[in-house]
Amino acid sequence: MKNNKARFSVNSRLAHILSQEYTSSEKALKELVDNAWDADAERVTISLPEPMSDAPIVISDDGSGMTTAELNNHYLSIASDRRARSGERTARKQRLVKGRKGIGKFAGLMTASVMTLETCARGTRTSFTLRLQDLLNAHDLDMLDLELVTTVCDSSAHGTTITLSDLDQQLAFPSPQRIRQLLLQDYGRETDFGIVVDGKPLGVDDVVGTFKDNTFSVQNVGEVKLRFAIAEKKSVSRQPGIVIRVDGKVVGKPSFFGLDERDDFPPKLLKRLYGEIDADGLRDHVTAGWDSLIENSELLEKVREVVAPLVLQAFKEAHGKELQLAHARLKREIKERLAALPENRREYAESAIRKVLDKFYGEPPEKVEPFIHVLLEAIERSDYGSVVRHLAEARRRDVVALAEALDEFGLADMAYLVEQAGARREFLNNLEALAKDEKTIEAQMHRAVERNLWVFGPEYSVFSSNQTLQRQVEDMLGKKFTGSRSKKRPDLLLNENLSGECLLVEFKRPSHALNRGDYEQATHYRHDLTKHMGKRIKVLLVGGDRSPDYPTNNTEPDVVAHTFLDVIATARRQLDWQIRQQR
């Protein structure tokens, strides 16, 4: 056995890195798992203690390990920041490096006072113990001595074990369930990186939500095992869906088994599906590169025919309850309007409302309710009601069939549009008078148009109006806003249309000539939102005429400037065309 002295190797970024914190002990431990991934480990075991016990946290991997020299030259260079080396890959398995903070190797000290590291590589076992108090007391970390203990080990031994002891009893101990959820996000689909937490391998049944385990026989395929879960909240994996394993190996990409092709299935729910199928009987239908199954395989189709309804039924059970809760949260006014409808129309209205809730699943109530109001207004209109009353004495199933057919052809919306055409023409007349008045201010035009978005066409709905960038991103999208412009307020942001495009509208008073500053303001808003939304955002500037300095060359795509009179004229043409089409 040989004892050596070692010291930390630091650089000028150390103070900045040490100031970074982990928001939970589970995220701190994940950093240590990331380090095992970077060491080309194939298996990581995590042992967590019972709350309030004296047992340590132990994280062990079978990665490449380190010799004494490697530990000195690389591991103890704690201020190395891998973010500056984006795209780096590991030596043996060519994995993309995940570790992001050089200080992350000591992340376990967030929850423990003592960390012991033991590592084996090429016949050498090296270990050291680091105490948090010594780290805190050191004025200069590069003067903090570490005692490295080196012994001989089997030349085939490799890997690293980290033991975290003297845990902080004032902090919540790491939760096995939460750390499994966290690790599933990044590592659940990895086939050569197994993780075991408290003796249990990471698996589908670790998802918090509805778990199903089915075994059945498929003709000419044999036994098929299906295990899947529907997460309670958001996505459980960066690769949602169900994978197929043949002879223990994943073949191809995750699939949603037709749910992603259904018009009546909320796309947001797809991210909650996570599962796997074992079907060794498909081995003769795997492509030569073992990267996918033959698409027109009859055996694969037989498996799909069995799996698809099972997954759909599980979603109906879990999703149906949430829809009922969403329905129950509708305002009293909507409930009263439903109650006032005749029974035959009420049944149709409730069915139509469920479809709207399906389409806008997960959206805030204030976004959904306007659609419900328009739908109820259409059903309440006499044009549509007269058709239903005409068949009031018909058989019940005929009335339901008619209502569904009318919904398919949009007759309810057509009747509503015809009846409202006069009112909309009158609105455009008043809006034009407002736009021609030099005393009209921006806020007046904003309020008028915000409640009549049909002037932009039928494809958009309100996402936000005069909300700060920070609130749009954090409250409405559930993401963390980054940047110095958090308090800026775009005038109007409209939800994505069928092409997946959003529309950002910036209003100026009708007497204001649109200039370069207005253009730059709107495009800056787009830049701020695009990096958080991940959607294509078109920009519409609305005001008076363009000033001479409004940019005309080298402009960004999808940025349009119109006068209010242009917008009004286009809306009139669209309205007239729609009315002609229905006569």
Amino acid at 1: M
Q: Specify which of 307-311, 402-406, 491-495 reaches the highest per-range mean pLDDT.
A: 307-311
Q: Who's near 558: CB < 8 A, 6+ residues apart?
A: 501, 536, 537, 538, 539
Encode burial over 351-370: b for 16+ CB neighbours within 10 A, e otherwise.
Answer: ebbbeebbebbebeeeebbe
What confidence tens digit (pLDDT) does each residue in 556-577 have? 888 889 888 888 888 888 777 6
In the chain, residues under CATH classification 3.30.565.10 are 2-197
Which of 34-48, 267-281, 295-309, 399-413 shows the lowest per-residue confidence on average (mean pLDDT)? Answer: 399-413
CA dist 127 and 494 (Å) reads 58
Mean local confidence (pLDDT), 374-398: 53
Give me the pLDDT at residue 499, please: 60
Task: Tell me how far apart the 2 most distant CA atoms of the chain are, in Å.
Answer: 97
Q: In what order do the strands lie in the sheet with 492-494?
A: 462-465, 492-494, 501-507, 536-543, 559-563
What confidence tens digit (pLDDT) does each residue in 131-178 have? 877 777 766 656 667 889 999 999 999 999 999 998 877 666 788 998
Sorting pLDDT into bands at 50, 70 and 90, what band is 482?
A: low
CB atoms within 10 A of CB 508: 22
What confidence tens digit (pLDDT) does each residue in 278-308 have? 999 999 999 877 788 887 889 999 999 999 9
Residue spans of alpha helices (H) in 188-289: 267-270
Give me the pLDDT at residue 72, please: 84
For domain 439-581, the question of CATH label 3.40.50.1980 is answered with no
Of residues 517, 519, 515, the one with CA closest to residue 504: 519
pLDDT, averaged across the chain:
78
What confidence tens digit (pLDDT) does each residue in 496-536 have? 555 667 788 888 889 999 999 999 988 988 887 877 776 78
Give me the pLDDT at residue 179, please: 93
Mean local confidence (pLDDT), 344-356: 72
What confidence tens digit (pLDDT) does each residue in 212-257 have? 999 999 999 999 999 999 998 777 888 899 999 999 899 988 999 9
8 A C-beta contact, residue 502 and residue 536: yes
Mean local confidence (pLDDT), 401-426: 53
Top pLDDT among 381 and 304 is at 304
Give me the pLDDT at residue 497, please: 59
CA dist 491 and 565 (Å) reads 19
Give me the pLDDT at residue 26, please: 87
Of residues 201, 177, 351, the one with CA closest to residue 276: 201
> Tokens representing 271?
């991210």
Give me the pLDDT at residue 152, please: 93
Residue 180 clears pLDDT 80, i.e. is over it: yes
Top pLDDT among 500 and 544 is at 544
Of residues 323, 344, 356, 443, the one with CA closest to residue 401: 344
Give me the pLDDT at residue 123, please: 95
pLDDT above 90 covers what percent of the chain?
26
Q: Specify the pairing of strand 501-507 against strand 536-543.
A: parallel
Top pLDDT among 283 and 378 is at 283
- The angle, 0 to 180 degrees and rounded to 10, between the axes of the packed helices 382-390 and 343-359 is 120
Question: What's the pTM value of the predicted model, to 2 decimals?
Answer: 0.56
Q: Give the rounded distance of the alpha carbon of 316 from its chain centre.
A: 21
Which of 34-48, 56-70, 406-420, 562-576 shows the lowest per-residue confidence on average (mean pLDDT)? Answer: 406-420
Top pLDDT among 14 and 312 is at 312
CA dist 361 and 317 (Å) reads 15
Give me the pLDDT at residue 200, please: 94
What confidence tens digit (pLDDT) does each residue in 3-25 have? 676 655 544 343 334 335 566 78
What confidence tens digit (pLDDT) does each residue in 458-470 have? 655 555 566 666 6
Give me the pLDDT at residue 63, please: 95
In the chain, residues under CATH classification 3.40.1350.10 are 439-581
Give me the pLDDT at residue 461, please: 58
- The angle, 0 to 180 degrees and rounded to 10, between the axes of the packed helices 332-340 and 343-359 is 140
Give me the pLDDT at residue 316, please: 82
Helix (H, G, I), strand (E, B) or coil at 333: helix
Q: In what order do the strands lie in the sheet with 273-278?
A: 209-218, 222-231, 273-278, 241-246, 249-255
Top pLDDT among 405 and 204 is at 204
Q: Domain spanning 2-197: which CATH class is it, in words?
A: alpha beta
Which of 96-110, 152-166, 202-216, 431-445 shows the lowest per-residue confidence on average (mean pLDDT)? Answer: 96-110
Give me the pLDDT at residue 39, please: 93
8 A C-beta contact, residue 61 and residue 209: no
**Residue 539: strand pairing partners:** 504, 559
